[in-house]
Structure 1
Amino acid sequence: MNCFECDQQGQTVAAVAVCSVCGAGVCATHVRTEAKQLREPANPGKVIHDRSARKLTCSTCREAEEAV
């Protein structure tokens, strides 16, 4: 799979990730990484723990999310 953003610029660059919002393939230059904390739902008798995770998005979706 190739990077969608690079393809729009007439370049062919291999994708290293898939945008979690729109599903486009993105290269290392265009991928945006955001640290997220995921909380597991509470069940009786269990302790709630936050888990480290990451969210990968393309630059277009990241800009749209930041504009809201």
Structure 2
Amino acid sequence: MDCYECHTVERSTTAVATCRECGVALCPGHLHVETKEIHKEAGLGKTTGGIAARRVVCPTCRRAELSV
């Protein structure tokens, strides 16, 4: 599978991941890796895990999230 972002500029680059939000395929040059704490309901509150999860997003979804 090829990177969608590269495809839009008529380049062919092998994808290595998909965006967590929209599902487009991404090459290493276009993906953004973020970390996210995982929360779980626990009684009357929440508990946070000790290890942060990895999250991959495309440039479009990242810009959309940062604009809010």
Q: TM-score range by the shorter chain?
A: 0.7 to 0.9
CA distance in 2, matches of 1:63, 1:12: 23
1:37 aligns with 2:37: yes
- Residue 41 of structure 1: SS of its match in structure 2? strand
Q: Normalized against structure 1, the TM-score is what?
A: 0.84
Matched with 1:23 is: 23
How far is the alpha carbon of 1:54 from its aligned partner? 1.1
Matched with 1:2 is: 2
Q: 1:10 to 1:34 in 2, by over 3 A?
A: same
CA distance in 2, matches of 1:16, 1:41: 33
Unaligned runs of 5+ residues in structure 2 are none
CA distance in 1, matches of 2:3, 2:24: 7
Matched with 2:60 is: 60
Unaligned runs of 5+ residues in structure 1 are none
- Residue 41 of structure 2: SS of its match in structure 1? coil
Matched with 1:14 is: 14
Instruction: Please list every run of at least 4 consecutive aligned residues from structure 1 whose deviation after the TM superposition is greater than 3 angstroms.
Output: none
- Residue 2 of structure 1: SS of its match in structure 2? coil
Aligned-residue CA RMSD in angstroms? Answer: 1.3
How far is the alpha carbon of 1:49 from its aligned partner? 4.4
